[in-house]
Amino acid sequence: MSDKDDIETPLLTEAAPILEDGNCEPAKNSESVDQGAKPESKSEPVVSTRKRPETKPSSDLETSKVLPIQDNVSKDVPQTRWGYWGSWGKSILSSASATVATVGQGISNVIEKAETSLGIPSPSEISTEVKYVAGETNAKENENSSPVAGAFGVFSTISTAVQSTGKSVISGGLDALEFIGKKTMDVIAEGDPGFKRTKGLMNRNATLSQVLREAKEKEEIRTSNEVTMETDKKTHYGLLFDEFQGLSHLEALEMLSRESEIKVKSILNSLSGEELETLKVELEQLKEAFSLAEFCEEEEEEKKGDEDFTKDITELFSQLHVSSKPEKLARARNTAHEWIRKSLTKPLAENEEGEKQSEAENTEQVNKNSIEDIHAFAIRSLAELTACSIELFHKTAALVLHGRKQEVTAIERSQTLSQMAIVLCKELSSLSKEFTTCLTTAGVEEMADVLNPLITAVFLEASNSASYIQDAFQLLLPVLEISLIENKIESHRHELQGQKPLLEH
Amino acid sequence: MEAIWLYQFRLIVIGDSTVGKSCLIRRFTEGRFAQVSDPTVGVDFFSRLVEIEPGKRIKLQIWDTAGQERFRSITRAYYRNSVGGLLLFDITNRRSFQNVHEWLEETKVHVQPYQIVFVLVGHKCDLDTQRQVTRHEAEKLAAAYGMKYIETSARDAINVEKAFTDLTRDIYELVKRGEITIQEGWEGVKSGFVPNVVHSSEEVVKSERRCLC
């Protein structure tokens, strides 16, 4: 809650700047800062700033309906989470299931191999087992303090549900991944009675960054209370995402999005008749470009070259005509791929690669990456890549709003951005595939119940990452809307000035 | 990565375009100096932990703002949630020094009802031969506004640590004395997390409500 208020208030101040001329001693009384407000906030200041209120009037209804399910799920998740879920669940759902689907195919080969070497039952056998195990979820929930639980990051709610069944499930390859997808869908659908009529992302009652921030802060509290959980912290997606400044960029993007949305609304309200109709048509086109960004097509050519991503993304970026460059993103992505490549080739080429062993990180690579290392690096990479992607969207928004005029229309930009969102999601998906290949390769001798949760975690966070990116992408819509409107007004004004210089618009 | 810190302070870095705000922050957070860097778009975010006393760490969230006028409407929104700020000028650029007044006026309008503890930073002090602003006049201006003054160089890593940690210490003192308080709806100062080995996991949930003293 507090986030939102903070950000909106300055807007008001901006609209009506208070000019105090006589008062010219700013920092001098920094020592008496905030005295006015002090008395009010004496009690429980910590809680209020850090945590959003647990109960929200708007979600009361939802919460009560949801209660039965809630009992099923992990205890340390506050009720309100379900309310939030629903509001942005739609996009999670589409991306989650899509990611899982694409991802599933790639991994099935790998898993087949693993299965045969591990003597794991066939997928169909497991599917039946799934139903069985799913019933036991309840009982298992309470023991969920295993170190792995933390690895599931932001989506601890779902992951706890998935995790306990996941152990036996995941080796079933596609089956299991579908199961996760369904489970996710069920949880979301049940958690949000209004699921079917979720209108759009902008109607959410909690922003994505708030949800993420809450999850991160909870995790911070948890980790700081459990000193032994060093590794846990390293694999917590939310904390890492924040470390890469993903949360800040997301908030900044949300702020720009919200400001733009307000402007769009007020302009639309001020228009009428033909003017309004033509504008609406154009805005509709813009929206279309945004809804096309579904992650639907499967014609993904197998294994494109390594440089393609960088090339694609750079090209897309140049089409945007914003002065920001995707170098940071490309670097993060290439680092991840390089790491994977080394991790996979090392067992064979360990002796020959003498020249490359000079780097510091290679000292530990000599002892081959453990599955924990791979898992930690995978989560880290996903968090970094997502944070970089969101940073790019944020910068794009800032430049679309305040950059120099460019010869590119808002609709063209939306189409480019939508392609970019797809490229990014695909990249995350293929990256997660490669990481799980690493995991399966390195963990051939591991027990399934050690290896599988790690694999699940990677897929889950990859799918989460994809949904953050899609949500962030959606935040750009109002920004492009206002850009479209402003360009239109601008050109209209030019026309008027050209034709009838005396007429005021 | 270390999640254990006493407080989190949000600091904002402002000043004219090209005075070296991003370079100063990068030197502080990444320990590097980039010869070439693109102008900042809107805002950028950095963070670093600072140990102000043995065992007492403070997490700094640093908001790097674009100096360019066209982004002013974005950067303005960040004043309000900052507890401290570094106001930079370039000692080799007289104009950037003259604009210090304007920056202070601008923040004053947008920070209300809060206040920002500022430090005035004369940047690029490695370029002493091209100096256009004397230390004396900068100190005088700073004193007039009740600020400290410090000269830094990101390239030669002069006083970079000191600029940030001194400011952090000053804010910490104010917080400790209760002159700056944590408030709902204000992100300038947040309470951090202190390790607590004794609590069981049951209590951990409850302890979110604890007051940190």
pLDDT tens, residue by residue, B12-43: 999 999 999 999 999 999 999 988 888 999 99
**DSSP three-state, residue B87:** strand
- Token pair in block for residue A124: 């169909």
Report how far apart, in Å, the C-alpha atoms of B44 and of each of A51, A366, A394, A411, B61 are: 24, 37, 10, 27, 10
* Surface of A (27-86) touching B: CB under 8 A: 27-38, 40-42, 44-51, 76
Q: How far apart are CA A100 and CA A501, in angstroms?
A: 59
* Domains of chain B, CATH where assigned: 5-189 (3.40.50.300)
**pLDDT, tens digit only, all 505 positions of chain A:** 444 444 333 333 333 334 444 443 443 343 443 444 434 433 333 333 333 333 334 434 444 444 444 444 444 434 333 333 333 333 433 444 443 434 434 444 444 444 444 444 444 544 544 444 444 444 444 444 444 433 444 444 444 334 333 333 333 344 444 444 444 444 443 333 333 333 333 334 567 777 777 777 777 776 666 544 455 667 789 999 999 999 999 999 999 999 999 999 999 999 888 889 989 999 998 998 888 655 544 444 445 555 688 888 888 888 887 777 788 899 999 999 999 888 887 654 444 444 444 444 444 444 467 888 899 999 999 999 999 999 999 999 999 999 877 778 899 999 999 999 999 999 999 999 999 999 998 888 888 888 999 999 999 999 999 999 999 999 999 999 999 998 888 877 777 776 654 444 4
- Token pair in block for residue A33: 């800062």
Q: How confident is the model at residue B86 (pLDDT cuts 50, 70, 90)?
A: very high
Residue B129 has a pLDDT of 96
CB contact under 8 A, A245 and B45: yes
Give the contacts of A354 (CB within 8 A, at least 6 positions apart): none
Confirm if A147 and A86 have CB atoms less than 8 A apart: no
Q: How far apart are CA B62 and CA B46, in angstroms?
A: 5
Residue A439 has a pLDDT of 92
Pick B3's closest partner by Cβ from A7, A26, A233.
A233
Instruction: For residue B210, give the DSSP letter.
Output: P
Count CB neighbours of A502 within 10 A.
6
Confirm if A402 and A256 have CB atoms less than 8 A apart: no
CB contact under 8 A, B1 and A255: no
CB contact under 8 A, A225 and B204: yes
Residue A230 has a pLDDT of 53
Do the bridges between strand B84-90 and strand B5-15 make them parallel or antiparallel, or are there none, so unpaired? parallel
Give the CA-trace dihedral at A332, A338, A344, A347, to 10 degrees. -130
Mutate to test the interface with A, among B62, B183, B196, B207 (most CBs of A within 10 A): B183
Mutate to test the interface with A, among B79, B193, B200, B203 (most CBs of A within 10 A): B193
Q: How far apart are CA A378 and CA A440, in angstroms?
A: 13
The H or E element that residue A391 is part of is helix A371-402
- Token pair in block for residue B35: 């010869």
Confirm if A31 and B174 have CB atoms less than 8 A apart: yes
Residue A490 has a pLDDT of 80
Q: Which residue has the tokens 């409500």?
A: B209
Confirm if B76 and B108 have CB atoms less than 8 A apart: no
Q: For chain A, give the mean pLDDT.
A: 65
Longest dimension (CA), chain A: 85
Domain ranges of chain A: 166-230, 236-344+368-498
Residue B3 has a pLDDT of 53
Say what angle helices A371-402 and A448-499 make with each other, to 10 degrees.
10
Instruction: For residue B158, give the DSSP letter.
Output: B
Q: How far apart are CA B70 and CA A400, in angstroms?
A: 12
| Chain B environment of A395 (Cβ under 8 Å) | 41-42
Say what angle helices A174-191 and A448-499 make with each other, to 10 degrees.
60
Mutate to test the interface with A, among B36, B41, B80 (most CBs of A within 10 A): B41
Q: Is the whole-model pTM more than 0.90?
A: no
Shortest distance, CA A71 to any CA of chain B (angstroms) = 17
Residue A17 has a pLDDT of 38
Q: For chain B, give the mean pLDDT.
A: 89
Count CB neighbours of A33 within 10 A.
22
Residue B151 has a pLDDT of 98
Q: How far apart are CA A438 and CA A368, in angstroms?
A: 11
Residue A342 has a pLDDT of 86
Do the bridges between strand B189-193 and strand B5-15 make them parallel or antiparallel, or are there none, so unpaired? antiparallel
Q: How far apart are CA B30 and CA B28, in angstroms?
A: 6
Mutate to test the interface with A, among B1, B2, B40, B120 (most CBs of A within 10 A): B1
Return the ∠ at Cα B13 (arms to B11 and B18), rounded to 5°: 165
Count CB neighbours of A343 within 10 A.
22
* Core vs surface per residue A83-102: b (16+ CB within 10 A) or e: bbbbbbbbbbbbbbbbbbbb
Report how far apart, in Å, the C-alpha atoms of A365 and of each of A107, A178, A249, A341, A374 are: 24, 34, 33, 12, 11
| Chain B environment of A4 (Cβ under 8 Å) | none
Residue B121 has a pLDDT of 98
Residue A190 has a pLDDT of 39
Confirm if B181 and A34 have CB atoms less than 8 A apart: yes
A17 CB within 8 Å of a chain B CB: yes
Give the chain A residue nearest B177 (alpha carbons): A31
Q: How far apart are CA A104 and CA A109, in angstroms?
A: 9
A269 CB within 8 Å of a chain B CB: no
Shortest distance, CA A246 to any CA of chain B (angstroms) = 9
**DSSP three-state, residue A405:** coil
Shortest distance, CA B93 to any CA of chain A (angstroms) = 24
Instruction: For residue B126, give the DSSP letter.
Output: T
Q: How far apart are CA A289 and CA A286, in angstroms?
A: 5
Give the CA-trace dihedral at A132, A137, A138, A139, to 10 degrees. 80
Shortest distance, CA A90 to any CA of chain B (angstroms) = 29
Residue A307 has a pLDDT of 63
In this structure, which amino acid lies at residue B152?
T
Confirm if B105 and B12 have CB atoms less than 8 A apart: no
pLDDT in tens, B109-167: 999 888 899 999 999 999 999 999 999 999 999 999 999 999 999 999 999 999 999 99
Pick A221's closest partner by Cβ from B116, B181, B204.
B204
Residue B213, marked binder: no
| Chain B environment of A36 (Cβ under 8 Å) | 113
Establish whether the linkage from the previous residue to B113 is cis, with ω within 30° of 0: yes
Give the chain A residue nearest B199 (alpha carbons): A225
Give the contacts of A61 (CB within 8 A, at least 6 positions apart): A193
Residues in chain B: 213
Residue B85, marked binder: no
